[in-house]
Structure 1
Amino acid sequence: MKTEFKFSNLLGTVYSQGNLLFSPDGTCLFSPVGNRVTVFDLVNNKSHTLPFAHRKNIARIGLTPRGNLLLSVDEDGRAILTNVPRRVVLHHFSFKSPVSALAFSPSGRHIAVGVGRHIEIWHTPSTPDQSPDGELEFAPFVRHRVFAGHFDTVTNLQWSGDSLFLLSSAKDLTARIWSLDPTPGFVPTTLAGHREGVIGAYFSEDQETIYTISRDGAVFQWNYLGRPKASEADDEMEEDGNDERWRITERHYFMQTNAKVKCCVFHPESKLLVAGFSNGVFGLYEMPEFNMIHTLSISQNDIDFVTINKTGEWLAFGASKLGQLLVWEWQSESYILKQQGHFDSMNALTYSPDGQRVVTTADDGKIKVWDVNSGFCIVTFTEHSSGVTACEFAKRGNVLFTASLDGSIRAWDLIRYRNFRTFTAPTRLSFSCLGVDPSGEVVCAGSLDSFDIHIWSVQTGQLLDRLAGHEGPVSSLAFAPNGGVVVSGSWDHTVRIWSVFDRTQTSEPLQLQADVLDVAFRPDSRQLAVSTLDGQLTFWSVSEAEQQSGVDGRRDVSGGRKLTDRRTAANAAGNKSFSTIRYSADGSCVLAGGNSKYICLYSVSSLVLLKRFTVSINLSLSGTQEFLNSKMMTEAGPLGLIDEQGEASDLEDRIDKSLPGSKRGGDPSARKRMPEVRVTGVTFAPTGRSFCAASTEGLLIYSLDTEPLFDPIDLDLAITPASTIYVLEKEKDYLKAIVMAFRLNEAPLIRQVFQGIPHSNIALVVDELPVVYIPRLLRFVAMQTEESPHLEFCLLWIQAILVSHGQWVSDNRGSVDSELRIVSRAVGKIRDELRRLADENVYTIDYLLSQPEPKASLQNGGEEGLKSITDGSALDEDMDGENDDGEWIGLD
């Protein structure tokens, strides 16, 4: 089994804190998610997470006007410069202090950064297409100027359209105008008059008007009055001490009762002002008349940030308390994107049998279904009234079962998206684990309150039996994949194997040395893996009921010292066990995770640690450091646990609204303070090409299909994209062209060569193709079958592969099993679409033939009318009034 799994995507959370950014073309949205950045493609309905990670949560991000460079800064002021198209980190840099504002100039040549109460102007690093010699600068960050004048933290920076002037706003109740370079006759201007901190200051399109917005809801309009005459200027200089040329001409107020302005944005071209308030309402206003266009409540908590795309059509809102991200089109009053992650810790996850969806459950009582390809949540179930602790699919994949602390087991129909069956026990129990028979006929659940296992019939909803035998709480359940037995693990140091379908329901106890945390079946149902509290992984034969082997994982999983730990990471006992384990798709490996920052991958046959994955390096989480810094320890305890809320500068930030003693469920904000890094669930995809981990950071997906840019094996100087295209189009050596494309391993090039081969030559090319390229070709054809509209062309490739290399595929079934699953899924998808298309066409034909005979047939003696119906011309005239050759086949 391959073990080169790499981070692929981050699901389960869509926004944490900081600012949002639209791409220059307005089709993509950049959102900071913890210490990573996620990009949402709003047109193609997909999302991906950039592969780099900061040492702490991201505070600010900035994007060049061309959209090729992304600058992200974390809470400590450490910055990373990234090439967005290539997803490659170019440079690491550190500012002196935390960054509160960041803006690229419209020309793209400078970066304005608000560092505390100072404003620093930096040169933008040049890219090869910008610099005259085609090379990057050796020192990419060069400081141009520093502006000092504000007396408190800078909150917002805005450039003028010509990139010559800069407008800054700060908590010192003022906004200031700065010149990028020294300009004759220009004096930095202070715009004062607000009674609370200014959160935004913006130029109008002609730069003759400035709008400033403060936290108390005041909007001031400043107009440029021109340079005073010499005599007037002398008088004003004597009276006021400076040459003021901006005056307040209008004062407006938002009039939101008991709500502060949290964020705002102004679009100069459309003169649209958008403000988000602390009560979850946002408002749209047209300037300079201050006409209210629309107000809408989109959240129950503060709106932390708002931005608008270049055309002024889409508004993006972020609310960090519940992790909400919204994109709203204000003209049509419709949502473009509406996503929300779990606002409490995830408990369990599972893949659907086809590998296309991942289901997550959390302490917030919600069940979310995530699409793996797009990265979006497609449905959320909220019927459970308490934390959901376990979830599992039936074998066919259309039914999902969940267990909850509210005392119910629910069955969900994932075709109609509804709860069609609810199972309860005679007494109120909090269910903690769940098992589903592969046939979907029986479901069983265990609880920490009762030592019995309850079994229900899915068809009738009736309680069939209670299995008694454990002497402690039941912690885990698992049905054998062949449906023969069910296995239960308990805190009484035993694992019991139950034959629930026999006449006499006997159990075979397996004795262990510590509390059982999780059990997992190998896909062939012959072996059982058990994780215990003492950090041991033991493997048992199901038929013989005896232990085959074991692994001591305490040293492998231990890592990360929490803030409250009195002992070092190596000596702490709380993180030295695996709370969740799963077998790989082929049964050769076991994936294990626990209350630490590591996920371990073990080989079952050799009992060695194959690879250890680090879940997070985010220092904003407790437990990511191996050694704590002694300067963070004070007489009152760890510095990270001391409440600094009472020292906040704003009154509403000093007020503590959290419930006393509440840690989860009722008060979501308590979890955000210093969450501990841990892994609550792991699972392999059915294809074996990826696995998921539910962690504090979110839903992490690790995959083998991260597609490197090129594969250097068998490369020489003659193999280039240009030479590959030449071989394809000029020499028409199709076999050589596709081998060259596979060696370069660039997806666009492979696709071009693949589509450039004539369909009549497919069988000859596949027959002569070296066997080493068969798995890659099989996987690529399967992906193209799902994505491209050339259905018959892709099916011809699949047929040629199986005809020419069918024996090799059969002999190497284990190595190409995941590829065959993708092919099967793609062919099944085509079959379902064609069946649906044929049904729609049959209904359309029946409807058209049932219509009354057109008048043309009666006037022309019947023959011409019958001919017009036969060739379809009369139908075209009847349907759209024109005699055209319109196609009505219902392909998307």
Structure 2
Amino acid sequence: MISLVTCTIIHRYKFKQAVNAVKFSPDGAYFAACCDDTVFIMTAPCTFTGEFRSFIMKRVYKKAHDDVTCLDWSSCSKILAVGSKDTTTRIYTVDYLDNINTYTLSGHTDKVVGIFFEKKSLDLISVSRNGQVCLWEASIDSDDLVVSEVQISLSKKRKIRKEEESEDEVNEKDVIEKDKEFEEPDDQEEDKVKREIAEYEEKRLTYAKLGRHYIGDAIRIADRKVKLTAVQYHKETKLLVTGFSNGIFFLHEMPDVNLIHTLSISEHRISSIAISSPGDWIAFGCPNIGQLLVWEWQSEQYVMKQQGHSLDMTCVAYSPDGLYLVTGGYDGKVKVWNTTNGFCFVTFSEHKSTVTSIVFSANKKFFVSSSLDGTVRCYDLTRYRNFRTLTSPSLVQFSCVAVDSSSELCAAGGQDVFEIFIWSIKFGKLLDVLGGHEAPVSCLSFSPTLASSRLASASWDKTVRLWNCIESGTDCETLRLTSDALQVAFRPDGEELAVSTLDGNITFFDATTCEQTASVEGRNDLGAGRADTDLITPEKMLKTKAFTTICYSADGSCVLGAGNSKHVCLYSVKESILIKKFVITQNRSIDAVNDFINRRLLTEFGNMALVEERGDLEGGDVNIRLPGVAQGDMADRRVKPEVRVHCVRFSPTGESFAVAATEGLMIYSQFAGIDGTFRPYRLEASSTPYAVKQLLKEGAWGSALTGAVQLNELAIIQECVETVPPTDINLTVSTLDDDYADRLLGSIARLLEDSRHLEHLLLWVKALVSGNKKKFPPSVLLALEKVLTVKYSQLSKICDFNKYTIKCIKSVGEIEVKPEMEPMDTDNESSGRGTFSDTD
């Protein structure tokens, strides 16, 4: 149970088994969960009462002969239909009912994939994996269900009745006399009993099969391996959507099972289907390629089409304004994401191998990617094309890439050839080849300052070399390290250098004097994480951990580090201490998430995860899994990826950072969601929300704004900013200190995202930027630029729409009305017809 207000887990229930399906009842009073062959029905807490047992077990059913796959509630929330792998559908009840206990429907020849109740009815639709659709008609309606007065099972009722009959003392003589009197039964009583039995049978819930239909016969005849993998039913429009393992989906109208539409969206398995509430949009999910599609079936067009990387992401880079993210993966694709809505809008597939590194240019016009296919490609963000391809004289696998601050030079390091290649981006010409490293070049970084063209290169030869690419050519300064260098990064001001080494340390150097200034030992912070197949202890595994990716924060005060672990560590550079450790996942289906091996896998023979599973076939042969064999391989192949963080990057705005990990692309934001954390800034005893409101009533704008910034509550700052009259904004800003002005400008940038008072807030921005002689931090200005860019794009669309609409209305008004179509009364006011002039 998760609170959406505080975004925290209030209560959890451990089934100790995999949950196959879970669903709320329509009235919200209960929810059902399926684990293996068991169905649990629990009460759903409407509000958090503070009780220790928030989930109270209502009923438990364990009558299926195999795993339960799907379930559905009736509209009355009294009956639950459950489909299983044993090809049967069972009807369970929440409360004990007089006219039904448990009912079983059998008619499929494969496992049941979907089961659905009709709207306001007990009729059923069941769909199996081989494409069979069975229609079931209920004998009664949901209103005819009778809840038992005493909530006990039928077996207990029979037992009680037998005990009552045995306790009754019956006089034998009275019985004999009554038998003599009623030797011949009365016909009326027999009819009465028969009527009662007939009425009871009429009120009892039974199902009759109306028909069986087959979906996708033509597909299965062509390929017998094609299976129905996903199904969804829209009860209002009676629309049945089925998806298959070859990427084809069908739309059928029920209950006649009339085919409406067929389409192939990919060549991979459709795992999940969802239908919007009106029933006009259908969403499909394909996990193998990370694809999400939204299809408008009436107009037969795509509403949205998103596809992530089919394999893990290897690198990520922010645009200088923080509006876009670019990712590269093992699949050789480069994708551009919008950080505002989280959608990918451009995909480049020019690379033929793994993308190893991506970096943005400082002018925000293009970005550069390197790959193991021996090419470095430049992509234009204006026309979305690969406008430059940089190659070396001989084939080299490039492991890293960097672009200088002037966006004119590009450098790439080799993985198999230990050299650094420098090109001119404008002309695409190879300018120089820097040699000197004795091992693969792991990372490159140019100095971010415009006045310098210094290039730092980290290598596995335990050195970091600083090159002056333009001034001195191949001359360099060498920094000797105690272990292999994995990553190198310049501080945003270019005065400091951070180096991550294989021994788990992050070392900081002065970029001018090349002297060591600080060091962080972070091996213990990463954590061990034990995989199922590890033969060594976590203590020994911890010695192999290191930061494979690091980056500075926007202001340069902190550094992020991550590696082959589930943790992302944030360190303070000045104090060299750990500030916070982020856990990227708790997904137990990924390897090395737990610190210890599951005790269930440990037997007297050792770790069962290391034992190869083989199935005995007829004739005593053993089925051995062969590498690369798909046809005829009956083994169950399960790939369990290991948790690791491939790349971390801080946003230039300083508000968020991105993590490319096994779970995908994750963005951690400072102001995401509902944040109830109180973070004051230079708080004083007199700074309270009540005092700020009193100062606003008195017209003391400067004091009220200072108190609001000290409280650091966005709602209070918004109230102060919107209360100050436009004529007093410049005077109020002039009374603020420089630190308060920085924080106020950042808060206004956040307010611009959702506020309607655009002009009023822009007056504040103008007053702060033009009236303050102090230079604002680049991160604050970049955050403001990002918001204004989004606002400009939104307003430009609205203005263009209004402009063309006005032109259309004006052109229609200027059309001359033909004489035969004019009414008898030509007066515009009396006829209700007006004309448009140029001034209109």
TM-score (ref. length: structure 2): 0.79
1:286 matched to 2:259:
no
* Structure-to-structure mapping, 1:381-396, within 5 angstroms: 381-396=348-363
Distance in 2 of aligned mates of 1:882 and 1:419: 55
- 1:268 aligned to 215, 227, 235, which one? 235
How far off its partner does 1:590 sit? 2.8
1: CA distance, partners of 2:123 / 2:77 = 16
| Aligned pair partner of 1:145 in 59, 67, 83 | 59
Query: Corresponding residue for 1:357?
Result: 324
Q: Provide the C-alpha distance between the structure 2 equivalents of 1:634 and 1:797, rounded to a whole number of angstroms.
A: 69
SS state at 1:276 partner: strand
1:126 Cα deviation from its structure 2 partner: 2.0
What's the counterpart of residue 179 of structure 2? none
Q: 1:708 to 1:839 in 2, by over 3 A?
A: closer
Contact 1:561 1:569 survives alignment (8 Å): yes
Q: What residue is the counterpart of 1:246 in the other structure? A: 207
Partner residue of 2:646 out of 653, 672, 680 = 680
Q: Structure 1 residues 727 and 561, CA, compared in 2 at 3 Å: closer, same or farther? A: same
Residues 49-68 of structure 1 aligned to structure 2 (within 5 Å)? none
CA contact under 8 A between 1:575 and 1:594: conserved in structure 2?
no
Per-residue CA deviations over 1:445-471 (Å, capped at 9, x if unaligned) read 111111222222212222222222222
Structure 1 residues 402-430: Cα deviation after superposition (integer angstroms, max 9, x where no partner) = 00111111000011111111111222221
- What is aligned with 2:169? none
Q: Quick check: 1:514–1:534 contact (8 Å CA) kept in 2?
A: yes
Aligned partner of 2:747 among 780, 784, 801:
780
Q: How far has the Cα of 1:288 moved from its partner?
A: 1.1
1:211 equivalent among 121, 125, 134: 125
* 2:659 aligned partner: 693
1:756-813 residue CA offsets vs partner (Å, 9 max, x unmatched) = 5543454465566788754443223223335445432112112344566x25x55xx5
- Is 2:758 the counterpart of 1:791? yes
SS of match in other structure, 2:539: coil
Q: Which shows bigger deviation, 253-262 or 619-628?
A: 619-628
Query: How far apart, CA to CA, are the structure 1 residues paired with 2:800 and 2:213?
Result: 60
The answer to whether residue 783 in structure 2 is matched with residue 822 in structure 1 is yes
Q: Tell me the equivalent position of 2:379.
A: 412
Aligned equivalents of 1:887 and 1:280: distance in 2? 57
Taking a change above 3 Å as real, the CA distance of residues 247 and 749 of structure 1, as seen in their structure-2 partners, is farther
Residue 162 in 1 paired to residue 92 in 2?
Answer: no
Distance 1:344 1:192, change over 3 A: same
> Counterpart in 1 of 2:21?
101
Corresponding residue for 1:622? 591
1:600/1:189 CA distance change after superposition, 3 Å: closer
- Contact 1:425–1:454 (CA<8 Å) still a contact in 2? yes
Hey, what's the Cα distance between the residues in 1 that align with 2:46 and 2:537? 46
CA contact 1:559–1:597 (8 Å) conserved in 2? no
1:628-707 to 2 correspondences below 5 Å = 628-634=597-603, 638-640=607-609, 659=628, 673-706=639-672
Q: Return closer, same or farther for 1:477/1:738 CA change in 2, 3 Å cut-off.
A: closer
Give per-residue Cα distances to partners, 1:690-737, cap 9 Å, x unaligned. 32222222223333334623638679999789x999997x88887788
Distance 1:88 1:174 in 2: 39
Report the equivalent of 1:591.
560
- Hey, what does 2:4 align to over in structure 1? 84
Deviates more, 1:227-236 or 1:824-833: 227-236
When residues 125 and 509 of structure 1 are mapped into structure 2, their CA distance, relative to the original with a 3 A threshold, is same
Q: CA 1:312–1:353 in structure 2 vs 1: closer, same or farther (change >3 Å)?
A: same
Q: Tell me the residue number matched to 2:430.
A: 463
Residue of structure 2 in register with 1:513 after alignment: 482
1:301 is paired with a residue whose SS is: coil
**Deviation at 1:247?**
1.4
Distance 2:809 2:137 in 1: 67
Say which structure, 1 or 2, has more relative contact order (CA 8 Å, 6+ apart). 1
C-alpha separation in 2, matches of 1:585 and 1:733: 35
Report how far residue 283 of structure 1 moved: 1.0
Which structure: larger Rg?
A: 2
Structure 1 residue 477 corresponds to structure 2 residue 444? yes
Quick one: which amino acid aligns to residue 711 of structure 1?
F
1:719–1:479 distance in 2 versus 1, CA, 3 Å: closer
Structure 1 pair 159–788 and aligned structure 2 pair: CA distance change class (3 A)? same
Q: Which amino acid aligns with 2:13?
A: F
Counterpart position of 2:820: none
Q: CA deviation at 1:625?
A: 2.8
SS, match of residue 676 in structure 2 = coil
Separation in 2, partners of 1:171, 1:389: 44
Counterparts of 2:442 and 2:414, CA distance in 1: 7
Q: Percent identity?
A: 40
Aligned partners of 2:75, 2:685: CA distance in 1, in Å? 49
**Any conservation in 2 of the 1:574–1:595 contact (CA below 8 Å)?**
no
> 1:603 is matched with which residue?
572
Aligned equivalent of 2:293, options 326, 338, 354: 326
Match of 2:402 among 409, 414, 435: 435
Q: Pairwise mapping of residues 525-540 of structure 1 onto structure 2 (< 5 A)?
A: 525-540=494-509
Query: Is contact 2:321–2:785 with CA below 8 Å preserved after alignment?
Result: no
Deviation per CA, 1:540-588, whole angstroms, max 9, x where unpaired?
3343344444444434445222333333223226633222222233333
Rounded Cα–Cα distance in structure 2 between residues aligned with 1:322 and 1:740: 52
Q: Distance in 2 between matches of 1:718 and 1:510?
A: 51
State the AA in 1 paired with 2:392: A
What letter is aligned with 1:249? Answer: L
Q: Distance in 1 between matches of 2:837 and 2:754?
A: 28
Partner of 2:283 in structure 1?
A: 316
Length-normalised TM-score, structure 1:
0.75
Aligned match of 1:36: none
3-state SS of 1:570 partner? helix
Whether the aligned pair in 1 keeps the contact of 2:248 and 2:265 (CA below 8 Å) is: yes
2:115 alignment partner AA: A
Structure 1 unmatched runs, 5+: 1-80, 129-134, 648-653, 662-668, 857-873, 875-880
> Which of 47, 69, 76 lines up with 1:127 in the alignment?
47
Verify the 8 A CA contact 1:233 1:243 in the aligned structure 2.
Answer: no
Instruction: Report the CA distance shift for 1:184/1:780 in structure 2 as closer, same or farther (over 3 A).
Output: same
Structure-2 residue corresponding to 1:201: 115
Quote the Cα distance in structure 1 between the aligned partners of 2:712 and 2:730: 22
**Deviation, structure 1 residue 393:** 0.9
* Alpha carbons 1:154, 1:170 under 8 Å: kept: yes
Query: Matched residues in 2 for 1:225 and 1:552: separation?
Result: 72
Who is 1:67 aligned against?
A: none
Structure 2 SS opposite 1:797: helix
SS of the equivalent of 1:590 reads strand
Distance 1:280 1:174, change over 3 A: same
Structure 2 match to 1:73: none
Q: Return the match for 2:540 from 554, 566, 571.
A: 571
Kindly provide the CA deviation profile for residues 122-154 of structure 1, in whole angstroms up to 9, marking residues without a partner as x: 1110227xxxxxx56663211222234322222
Q: For 1:887 and 1:201, locate their aligned partners in 2 and report how far apart those are by CA, in whole Å.
A: 64
Does residue 1:495 correspond to 2:464, yes or no?
A: yes
Of 283, 296, 299, which aligns to 2:263?
296
SS of equivalent residue, structure 2 residue 541: coil
Give the 3-state SS of the residue equivalent to 1:820 in structure 2.
helix
Which consecutive unaligned segments of at least 5 residues does structure 2 have? 145-190, 617-622, 631-635, 817-827
- Aligned-residue offset at 1:833: 8.5
1:729-768, aligned counterparts within 5 Å? 751=718, 754-755=721-722, 757-763=724-730, 766=733
SS of the aligned residue for 1:513 comes to coil
CA distance in 2, matches of 1:602, 1:527: 15
Instruction: Provide the residue aligned with 2:312 in structure 1.
Output: 345
